[in-house]
Amino acid sequence: MKANTNQIRAAIDAADPSIRLFLLHGPDEAGAQDLATRLARKMGPDAERVDLEPALLKSNPGRLADEAASLSLFGGARHIRISGAGEECLEAFTLLLATERAGNPVVAIAPSLKSSAKLVKLATVARAAMVCAFYMPEGADADKLVSTIAREFGMSTTGDTATRLALATGGDRAIMTRELEKLALFLDADAERPREIDDAALDAIGADIGDAEMSRAIDAAIDGKPDVLGAELARLNEAGVSPIPVLRQLARRLMTLAELRAQLDGGAGVAHVTDGIFFREKAITARALRHWQSPMLTIAIDRVREAERAMMGAATAGSVLAEAAMLAIARQAARQR
């Protein structure tokens, strides 16, 4: 069934046994991860978490239903998480929702899936599933999210500090949380010592991630200019900019290109499909549409998502993973020109 985030939170908090699958899709992967973490906390610190790869489910679709019905080795709680889920999981999810018994809840995070995907449609009509789309918060929604996370750290926003943080972090929930955590340490804030976030605190340690600075790197990747991209990445690295929001903005641009490319494949013209594009991006978008084909866009989007997931793990190569992914995309674009 289709649900909003509040409904899914309520189902998680109530430990509703009738829900076997939580399908969280859309580009705001950090928002989906937040709900997946909420389920893990609800299951308890001793619960066993089973991570399954989409490639495994494609080759062995019955594995998911088996894991969902299996008891923990020590008899405790158990839950299953699938990151980067895509249409290759369709048969596995179909078997999961059709099985008679599945006591362990499944959370599937699918940042590349659209509402029209077969997997999303399957979960939407299933009573034992809840599906929710996650999009990057913008405008007032982003400001509200900053204020909400700030309260969790014992802080309140003042003036336009919520807007400043929302813009500086590109609406990225994970980056917002890290920045607010730094601010809480700087202000010595917690629930018992509430503090206000003012402009002085942001000027002292706040994030300073400009859209224009990131856009230059993203433009170079999409336009197939690895030499320019290398220089832009070095500059961002020197400025201490986190690669996560850069990757996520690149993913959004690639997904927009994929949607426009699909319209072109359907017979529309370049001038028509780029009519509503922001004026600064219109020329590069039109140029990109002439050499980016749908299959290659899918590969590029997957590459960005894989790099982001790899960076989230422990003891990773960090920004090197993001830089390698972006340079690979720039070289891929250059070969298509």
> What's phi and psi for 267, nearest 5 deg?
110, -5
Catalogue all structural domains in the chain, each as residue range(s) with its CATH number: 5-133 (3.40.50.300), 139-205 (1.10.8), 211-336 (1.20.272.10)
- The DSSP bridge pattern shows strands 48-52 and 78-83 to be parallel
CA distance readout (Å), 158 to 167, 196, 279, 307: 15, 7, 33, 36
Would you say the pTM of this structure is higher than 0.85? no
Q: How far is CA 199 from CA 106, 115, 147, 176, 239, in A?
A: 42, 40, 15, 16, 20
Is 128:19 a contact under the CB 8 Å cutoff? yes
Q: What is the pLDDT of residue 314?
A: 55
Q: What is the pLDDT along the chain (337 residues), one digit of tens a residue?
A: 998 888 988 888 888 888 999 999 988 887 888 888 889 888 888 888 999 999 999 999 999 999 988 877 666 788 999 988 989 999 999 999 998 777 889 999 998 888 889 999 999 999 999 999 988 777 888 899 899 899 989 999 998 889 888 877 767 777 788 788 889 999 999 888 999 998 888 877 755 555 566 888 999 999 999 999 999 888 888 777 778 778 888 888 898 899 899 888 888 888 888 887 766 788 888 899 988 998 999 999 988 888 887 776 655 667 888 899 999 999 999 988 7
Name 323's Cβ contacts closer than 8 Å, sequence gap at least 6: 233, 237, 243
Can you tell me the distance from the alpha carbon of 278 to that of 43, in angstroms, rounded to the nearest whole number? 44
Question: What pLDDT is stored for residue 312 in this prediction?
Answer: 66
Q: Tell me the pLDDT tens digit for each residue of 163-220.
A: 888 877 767 777 788 788 889 999 999 888 999 998 888 877 755 555 566 888 999 9
H-only helix segments in the chain: 5-13, 29-43, 54-59, 62-69, 90-98, 118-125, 139-152, 161-168, 173-187, 199-205, 211-222, 226-238, 243-265, 270-273, 279-291, 294-312, 319-336
HSE-CB at 174 with a 13 A cutoff on CA atoms is 20
What is the rounded distance in angstroms from the CA atom of residue 72 to the CA atom of residue 59? 24
pLDDT in tens, 122-134: 999 999 999 999 8
The b/e string for 102-139 (b: 16+ C-beta within 10 A; e otherwise) is bebbbbbbbbbbeeebebbebbeebebbbbbbbebbee
User: Residue 294 is which amino acid?
Assistant: S
Distance, in Å, from the CA atom of 128 to the CA atom of 126, rounded to the nearest integer, reads 5
- Alpha carbon distance 139, 223 (integer Å): 28
User: Looking at the DSSP assignment, which residues form a beta bridge with residue 2?
Assistant: 131
CA gap 223, 210 in Å, rounded:
20
CA dist 309 and 307 (Å) reads: 6
| Among the listed residues 306, 110, 309, the one whose alpha carbon sits nearest the alpha carbon of residue 325 | 306
Q: 106 φ, ψ to 5°?
A: -120, 130
Q: 332 in helix, strand or coil?
A: helix
